[in-house]
Structure 1
Amino acid sequence: MAMPMSYADHVLSRRIAETLALQPDSPAIEYGQVWRTWGELGAAARRIRGFVTAYPVGRRQIGILLRNRPENVAALLGVLLGGGTVVVINPSRGEDRTRADITALHLPLIIGAPDDLAHLVTPAPGSATLAITDPGADPHLSTTAGRRHQGGTAQSGVAVRMLTSGTTGPPKRIDISYDMLARSVIGRDPESAPAPAQPRSGVAIVNAPLVHIGGVFRVLQCIAEARPFVLLPRFQLEPWARAVRTHRPKAVSLVPAAVRAVLHSDLTSDDLSSIRVVTSGTAPLSAEDADAFREKFGIPILTSYAATEFGGGVAGWTLTDHRKYWDAKRGSVGRASGGARLRVVDEDGTVLPPDRPGLLEVAPGQLGPSAHWMRTTDLARIDDDGFLWILGRADQAIIRGGFKIMPDDVRNALERHPDVAGAAVVSRPDARLGEVPVAMVELRDYRSVTEADLSSYLRDRLAPYEIPAEIEIVPEIPRTPSGKADLTAVRRHLEESLHARSSERR
């Protein structure tokens, strides 16, 4: 049987090593308004690499309890420098679920903060944990007595076993290869792409979580470009705005929930005067919100379409397209990008002509020119100019007494209400109609509106069958790390509320 190949000399690993060695004294990561240098980041990553390469090539599957901290970035880079596979573990999913996840993974080594390791990890016999704190501090290795752990065999060529967002069910892991990541963050032909001769002058802002593909992509993109960046623990308006005012980036990336937070804040165009463009993905952003953002701040929003399975984005707006086409094609997520191919098919797989809605299929550019077609569960249409519209998830359509309802249409209508900060719409079984839509709504601070007010508002904007059978106002909508509404948690909450009210009536 052929021995597994080491990916420590892959173009992605080489690019990471080259960037970390460029100018060791130059700033690399700002966290908590304190800068760490490329030299500090490189030294920390190389220390992690030493622990990774102590394992045989086929067993370098390393779990990382990822939080948005500099030492976690160093751990991510260190595993990739060592040709290993990063297994993403989300320490914020709840202790019981995280413990069960770790137990099922059978990993030889798990890296994380000391508190996370202590609370979440019960090492199996022969396995180990590596506690990391500040990038300048030595990691602390703890091993468990017993026969050397034999689990955690890595599939050759996998750089990251990435968690999906878990919007509609439990998160699952998708294998992202070294080749896919290299094409995403370096270019379609990464071997021929020249490496930076020196660190870039502009500073990026990374607020996407490292437990999501968006966070991994943004960090590795900064590393590939030798671009210093501000790392935020998560998106919060004030720290983000301070970073924008301080470092004056020309481009920022915001998920739709963050776009809406900025849009409805007290920030002015002067606060964001350096920004020329906002990119937005991971979840649908309404054309109304995009237009309102541009009207308030004078900044266009370039939406995109991506998925963990694709290894990144496969469609998006360019600034040139936005200037030329937005008014005619507002609401689209742009055209195929990064070498991707897109098509729409019916349920039998027959390719449909332009503007006919159907199921979207994608051949991602990250998989190279011979990429096979991947069928999604997204309903979509593509026009004559190649612009893609995502119409909703086929597996989330609600059939109410024979009428089809797309939850995103209802959500968009609710979010157009001036008092609504966010909404989520799911189905509920109904004895007479089969199923009905129900909604959870989060209001803006200090706003006062009732469920009856919202239902009345929707009557002028939706068909009668689309109006939710119930609207519940909550302090905060549960969300996944990527900022999407956690529909499983939303559905569970609404079911529990209905059960509680039924019990009270009895």
Structure 2
Amino acid sequence: MNLFPETICINGAVHRVETLLEKSSPVCPAGIESDLIEFLAQWYGPQNFITVHTSGSTGAPKPIALDKQFVARSAGRTIQFFGLEPGQRVLLCLPLRYIAGKLMVIRALLGQLDLCPVDPASDFSFLAQCRDTPFRFAAMVPNQVSKLLDDPARFEGLDSLLIGGSALSSRLETRLQNVPTSCFASYGMTETATHIALRRINGPEASDGFHCLQGICVGLSETGCLTIDMQGLDRLVTNDLAQLDDAKTFRILGRADHVIICGGIKYFPETIEKKLEKAIEQPFFIGSLPDETLGRRMVLVIEALPDNVLEKRVAQSLARCLDRYERPRKIVFKKPFERTETGKIIRTF
């Protein structure tokens, strides 16, 4: 695999990479942003690695060096899985500060795809006009997918959609069942150069389990956390508690550092949150506070101003949706929530 092709296709025009990187160029060509040029300079630079940053969902974002061969293999797996072919249009709508945006560029380079960059904050209304020439592939975070759902006609301009960056809510997943686009949830992280497994969200192949891409296997650590085995990476022990069907298929139960031990029993906040997603309209999460008797007691944190009517309605939902011992003992209101740039809620209150 040639990691450094001489050309890249952007918005239907083929450019010599060498020309794009010439320092004498006063401005970027139309439709090509400076951060794309900066990343190409890093990819074609003398180092055998690129520097990327974690999302910051479990602490301050930190830099990580990823070998270029390792990154290229990740891009190749996606190209193969989605059957992407030279000349097909792919939409770049993720920031290039993080690995997901960078991988879209690498896929376009290695797959000779037509890369079409747009502002990540776009409302994607232009997709409704692309039904005759749809984009073959795009990757988005859930907040962006919500914008697509404002006008379902936008999905007619997109063949396949990869969704990642943060957890996909049950409400959003339900709304995606009737769209024509093939939608996939992803599991991965910066350290693995984006996704190592995918889950079909809609259509006849929809599943509640993630399936590993070619050449990747998973297992469980002694503490029940997912382990990942893949070429170019020492066995990675994640912080995600998982349930395995086999070495290729798994479900995520929640993060180990989110587990709440209440009265000697372990509770998975993400599992409880799934049960509540259709009953509570506002963003929320399950947290905990110290308790002299129980050790920790669960609390429900809602992104809203204090509201007695809302609190009463939510309390009724807790009683209806949750088993007795799963129910949070307190409702806390906080507005606004802190979030990472990819939309993940930072669970502090």
Where does residue 301 of structure 1 map in the other structure? 183
Is the 8 Å Cα contact of residues 315 and 335 (structure 1) preserved in structure 2? Answer: yes
Where does residue 98 of structure 1 map in the other structure? none
1:376 aligns with 2:233: no
1:166 aligns with 2:49: no
Is the 8 Å Cα contact of residues 7 and 16 (structure 2) preserved in structure 1? Answer: no
Where does residue 331 of structure 1 map in the other structure? 208
- The Cα of 1:412 is off from its aligned counterpart by 2.4
Q: Deviations over 1:353-397 (max 9, x none)?
A: xxxxx22110124x2xxx532211111111158421011111211
Distance 2:95 2:327 in 1: 34
Q: Deviations over 1:113-144 (max 9, x none)?
A: xxxxxxxxxxxxxxxxxxxxxxxxxxxxxxxx
1:28 aligns with 2:10: yes
Structure of higher CA gyration radius: 1
Q: Deviations over 1:410-432 (max 9, x none)?
A: 33234323633x33333333444
Q: SS where residue 313 of structure 1 aligns?
A: strand
Distance 1:275 1:449 in 2: 41
Where does residue 43 of structure 1 map in the other structure? 19
Aligned-residue RMSD, C-alpha:
3.4
Distance 1:410 1:472 in 2: 18
Query: Aligned partner of 2:91: which letter?
Result: I
TM-score normalised to structure 1 length: 0.58
Is the 8 Å Cα contact of residues 164 and 187 (structure 2) preserved in structure 1? Answer: yes
Correspondence for 1:346 among 212, 215, 222 = 222
Unaligned runs of 5+ in 1: 1-9, 21-26, 30-34, 50-67, 85-156, 191-195, 348-357, 495-506
Query: Aligned partner of 2:225: which letter?
Result: L
Is the 8 Å Cα contact of residues 137 and 159 (structure 2) preserved in structure 1? Answer: yes
Alignment of 1:41-120 (within 5 A): 42-47=18-23, 70-84=33-47
Q: SS where residue 155 of structure 2 aligns?
A: coil
1:252 aligns with 2:112: no
Is the 8 Å Cα contact of residues 42 and 74 (structure 1) preserved in structure 2? Answer: no
Distance 1:216 1:379 in 2: 28
Correspondence for 1:312 among 188, 194, 203 = 194
Query: Aligned partner of 2:331: which letter?
Result: E
Query: Aligned partner of 1:361: which letter?
Result: T
Distance 2:325 2:145 in 1: 30
Query: Aligned partner of 1:83: which letter?
Result: P
Unaligned runs of 5+ in 2: 26-30
Q: SS where residue 156 of structure 2 aligns?
A: coil
Q: Deviations over 1:319-375 (max 9, x none)?
A: 9x9634x3xxx422x21113111112323xxxxxxxxxx22110124x2xxx53221
- The Cα of 1:482 is off from its aligned counterpart by 2.0
Q: SS where residue 323 of structure 1 aligns?
A: coil
Query: Aligned partner of 1:169: which letter?
Result: G
Q: Deviations over 1:20-59 (max 9, x none)?
A: 3xxxxxx615xxxxx9x5438652324399xxxxxxxxxx
Distance 1:255 1:406 in 2: 23
Where does residue 19 of structure 1 map in the other structure? 7
Q: How many residues were matched structurally?
A: 334
Is the 8 Å Cα contact of residues 290 and 300 (structure 1) preserved in structure 2? Answer: no
1:241 aligns with 2:125: yes
Closer/same/farther in 2, CA of residues 241 and 78 from structure 1, 3 Å limit: same
Query: Aligned partner of 1:242: which letter?
Result: F
Is the 8 Å Cα contact of residues 127 and 154 (structure 2) preserved in structure 1? Answer: no
- The Cα of 1:170 is off from its aligned counterpart by 1.5
Query: Aligned partner of 2:227: which letter?
Result: E
Is the 8 Å Cα contact of residues 205 and 252 (structure 1) preserved in structure 2? Answer: yes
Closer/same/farther in 2, CA of residues 341 and 426 from structure 1, 3 Å limit: same
- The Cα of 1:449 is off from its aligned counterpart by 6.8
Distance 1:472 1:336 in 2: 38
- The Cα of 1:227 is off from its aligned counterpart by 2.4
- The Cα of 1:205 is off from its aligned counterpart by 1.9
- The Cα of 1:260 is off from its aligned counterpart by 4.1
Query: Aligned partner of 1:274: which letter?
Result: G
Is the 8 Å Cα contact of residues 217 and 248 (structure 2) preserved in structure 1? Answer: no
Is the 8 Å Cα contact of residues 248 and 274 (structure 1) preserved in structure 2? Answer: yes
Q: SS where residue 135 of structure 2 aligns?
A: coil
Q: Deviations over 1:436-492 (max 9, x none)?
A: 33344347xxxx971332232122112334333223253x533212221123xxx1x
Distance 1:344 1:385 in 2: 9
- The Cα of 1:256 is off from its aligned counterpart by 2.9
**Greater percentage in helix:** 1
1:389 aligns with 2:251: yes
